[in-house]
Amino acid sequence: MSGNQEQYFSKTLEKGLSILNLFGRETPSRSLTEISIITGINKTSTYRLVNTLIQLGYLRKSADKSLRLGPKAFSMGHECFHGFDIYQGIKPIIDKTFFEHHISIDSALIDGYKLISLYRREMPNLVSFHLPLVMDELYARAMGKIVLANLESDDLEHYFADLAPKKLTPHTLVDIDEIRKDIRSTRTRGYSINDKEYMIGVISIGAPMMNLQTKSVVGAVSLDFPSKEYSLDTIEKQHISLLLTLATEASHLITTAGIRH
């Protein structure tokens, strides 16, 4: 087995983490068999790994044997979240812009074909605009669109392969060809526009967070406006340069940190 690259990769750890990753807000509870089937790990090994996670406090078992996250997962989650230096780094950048311009700002990182909310500041005029922390529906969001527009064509095709768009508002694009067209114009435009496509009262513009060395997109920032007070026209005239400045700052942070997709 000499020169084997896989010698320095632990499959067991990979499996254990993949099990832990099956738990989250949308699926707080799972059964052993379920885990075994989803991960493709055979039942005994699944049992061993789950049992380990239970003993360490990452999972816990109810009376009916269903599994849930344990306190240790909660505290580790805490630390992994707040110990992530990009989060700590983008906070002051967004705070500064927020206090200077009084605009709602959002930022997110790519994880697979989802966006993970990184840090956000909201103006009170954007009432009840509580976005999910893990975002699907990239096609209907400013941050999602600009990410899609900057993806490698292979990745983009893979995204479209099993896409089933939902009509979230009357303005949501659900026709695949229309979405493709929108992505193309987003790419040439350099920033994305979400005109009430995700939520009725909200217009957003988005720009990419790029790793400037690898030229790959790793996330996005967006500015969000209440459509009652702002027209898309005004926004494009007055706020694009601010958006792009913010995106550039964030990209520098990302690049220095060496985050890649």
Binding site for DNA (CB under 7 A): 1-3, 7-13, 15, 31-34, 41-45, 47-49, 61, 64-66
Q: Give the x-and-dash track for 11-50 against its own copies (CB under 8 A).
A: -xxxxxx--xx-xxxxxxx-----------------xxx-
Q: Across the strands, what pairs with 204?
A: 194, 224
Please state, in angstroms and as integers, the Cα–Cα distance from residue 190 to each residue in 185, 187, 209, 240, following that order: 8, 5, 12, 10
* Residue with smaller CB distance to its own copies, 86 or 142: 86
Q: Give the x-and-dash track for 169-208 against its own copies (CB under 8 A).
A: ----------------------------------------
SS3 of residue 206 by DSSP:
strand
Q: Would you give the DSSP letter of residue 212?
A: T
Cβ contact 67:99 at 8 Å: no
For the CA atoms of 98, 101, 106, 108, the dihedral, rounded to the nearest 10 degrees, stands at -80
Tell which positions 46-105 bind its own copies, by CB under 8 A: 47-49, 51-53, 55-56, 58, 60-63, 68-88
Which does residue 68 touch among DNA, its own copies, none (CB within 5 to 8 A, set by kind)? its own copies
Closest CA to 40 of 25, 54, 22, 53: 22
Give residues in contact with its own copies (CB under 8 A). Answer: 7-10, 12-17, 20-21, 23-29, 47-49, 51-53, 55-56, 58, 60-63, 68-88, 109-111, 116-118, 133-134, 218, 257-259
